[in-house]
A and B are shown apart, each in its own frame.
Chain A
């Protein structure tokens, strides 16, 4: 059974800092790993998707890496901005198109 853990649970940083969010998963037989953003009371927005055969993906100030052998993924956010404040969730896709989510990291970027 896939279990996904995210550390830290919450993070507060001043604007401009570079930061790393961590995600670990127990079952390395995942098809892909996605990072989502969730604003308070809202749905999920997909940020980056890494296929199991890939090592990393980049989009703007975001970079996500995947290490299947160690069961870890990281989301790197460069030059953080107050608009980045949200909850970030990682999810592994296993057989049957089911996503298994972590509990998220709640990020606050202070102006």
Chain B
């Protein structure tokens, strides 16, 4: 158990819809990162939040957005879903400046 929880675990959406994925970070961790992992691929960095501010972004379009709350939990929002958005979305929490990072079990998103 890493202490990082994600919800929902599985969901199916229709192309063009919007989705919100949630992450509760490990106690005391102030940094949350989101990764997208397509089937058979390694995780790709989407963005990172530190103290409620975006602190780095990967090569993802603006329809991928996020939030971090005062308790350090986080949301990933994806608008105008496309078929290629189907993937496992992983949340990771850490303490800024430290190397230890903990991943949640992920949210499986299928876009049909």
Contacts and interface: CB of A to CB of B under 8 A. Distances in A.
B56 A103 contact: no
A49 interface: yes
Interface in A6-44: 6, 31-32, 34, 36, 41-44
Contact of A97 (B2, B31, B90, B106): B31
Interface residues on A, range: 20 to 34
Interface string B79-105: 000000000101010101001111111
Contacts of A104: 42
Given A43-B2, A96-B48, A96-B55, A103 B101 contact: no
B44 interface: yes
A15 B48 CA distance: 40
Interface string A34-65: 10100001111110010100000000000000
Do most interface residues of chain B lie in helix, strand or loop, or is the interface mixed? strand
B48 A98 contact: yes
Contacts of B88: 41
Contacts of A43: 2, 4, 90, 103-106
B28 interface: no
A72 interface: no
A107 interface: no
B42 A97 contact: no
A31 to B, nearest CB: 8
Given A97-B31, A99-B101, A104-B42, 13 more contacts: A6-B42, A34-B101, A43-B2, A43-B104, A43-B106, A44-B43, A46-B100, A91-B43, A97-B55, A98-B33, A98-B58, A100-B45, A101-B35
Interface of B: 2, 4, 31, 33, 35, 40-45, 48, 55-56, 58, 88, 90, 92, 94, 96, 99-106, 108
Interface of A: 4, 6, 31-32, 34, 36, 41-46, 49, 51, 89, 91, 93, 96-104
